[in-house]
Structure 1
Amino acid sequence: MERRPLGRSGLEVSCLGLGTMTWSTDEAGTEDAAAQLIAFVEAGGSLVDTADVFGGGAAERVLGHLCGTVVDRSRLHIVTKAGVRTDSTGRSRDTSRNWLLGALDASLKRLQTDYVDVWLLHVYDPDTPLEETMAALDLAWRSGRARYVGLSNHTGWQTARAATWQAAEPARAPIVATEVEYSLLERGVEREVLPAALAMELGLLAWSPLGRGVLTGKYRYGRPADSRVNSPSWSRFVKTYLDERSAAIVEAVATAADGLGVTPLEVALAWVRDQPGVASAVVGARNAAQLKSSLGSEQLFLPPEIRLALDDVSLPHVGYPEDH
């Protein structure tokens, strides 16, 4: 699998990443996660994306268990995130020094490692001064507990402000990456976030590149009983893209896939993977067989005319001030 530099850093990551948001610690879940991780590494993948809140910490626990038992830790680039609270305080976002450093130590314990390759701020926190948040990243970076640091789900101005602040002093940890949702169904990041990332030379990690599963085409003719849209915990996540505009984009993807003799999943994933600035497209899967379908897209390169057609049909709305 192709390796790409993560922004302006010396770290090279696989162009496809493995998402762990649905991993669980029950026996079946752990076995399935093991099969996914083995298939991913055997295909040449290295970047594994997780977060301290995925499954209430379950995803990190499973990944930590699998490192050293089924896959050597040194073969992985582990990306985890902090900044979201799920306790009873009523505060949903917290990027204070106290919360972040405590969250990182807890993540390292669950992951059974003394460092993470990339540590991201999961969200922007308007209630904590930027300099305090960035100082926490600096400490994690200088201590070696986080080899690289970055952002996740930040707007364009938030991204540029944080990256500029860190670049102002050589002793500060450079922001090397930003992780955002990016797919043919969600191209809003192209208005300001992607330009900011390109200007600041940050690597972009694209989460949900398959439009929360909708771009696979599974909902073209109905809603399968075993699909996420029928799950109480996932239905809202998927229904966002079950509208007329999304349906038209899915049909265009399916038409392109028919012409190329591949699946809609492969077309949608190849489109994101090769967008300017994208270092890695992070894919999640219910099982190893589904993951292998995603890994098959690594060999697909879209012809320019198909890429342009998909660009046109999924063009995001751009108005003032971006188009001035």
Structure 2
Amino acid sequence: MTAALAPAVLDVAQWQARRRAHEERVDVWLTPHLARRRRGERHPVADFLFTYYSHRPAQLRRWHPGPGVELRDADPAEFGRDYRAGTAGVTLDTDGVRERRAESITWIRSLLTATRGRAPHFGCFGMHEWAMVYRQTREELRHNAWPLRLSAERTAAVVEERGVRCSHFDAFRFFTPPARPLNLLTPTRETQHAHEQPGCLHANMDLYKWAYKLSPLVSSELVADAFDLARDIRTLDMRASPYDLAALGYPPVRVETPDGRAEYAAAQRAFTERAAMLRDRLLAAVPA
């Protein structure tokens, strides 16, 4: 059970301003995606967070304040079943949410805690994306509307020369069959808690997933912060991939070269610092 602390009370103008600011922030991301979807267009970078993750655009846009906040003169029906009438307005039924979703919360908290407790590793150099196209034909490529920067043979040679050091199961499961034996590890869903480490781009991108899965125990602003980080990580992920996306405005990070690997590792370190702060905020939202 959570501590019985008096909630912070926001008057109508305050909470509506917060909601409006959140909606305006996410609309910058949602509007281009929804326009492309209406036109039947695909974007290999910008659409990923909407197609790979299960959180729908409307859910990302919907504002909720998180626990410990009371919204004056609000209607509980406007915010959903997890909210109840308080002394001055509407507040989140924090204890009820934690009880209903105890197993999921415990699993997520355990993963975040385990990840936070490990030293980050920065030696993968984005080879997971290369392993996803290793020894594929042009027709088999996931983003086959876009060319590879190198020939298929040279792409395969880079994977074989560099090796693959991927600790993230949800990246590893997309490796081509011949690429999987080249990986240093064989991560599984069952070993995810043992392998996840804070330098991994995909583990840090997944903070968005854990944020929305913990909602409404975390605020929409925190979910949006995690989405923002995931967007930036996805950009590096695809700039360092074997695809040539320069025509879309994504100059390559040439991880097949020493300079490119140095550029990638520096960006990876910066993302690790941003992710550490978000991970701490998520853990603080679901205390043990």
Q: TM-score, normalised by structure 1?
A: 0.27
Query: Per chain length, whose mean CA-contact separation is higher, i.e. which structure has more relative contact order (CA < 8 Å, sep 6+)?
Result: 2
- Larger proportion of strand: 1
Q: Greater share of helix residues, 1 or 2?
A: 2
Q: TM-score, length-normalised on structure 2?
A: 0.29
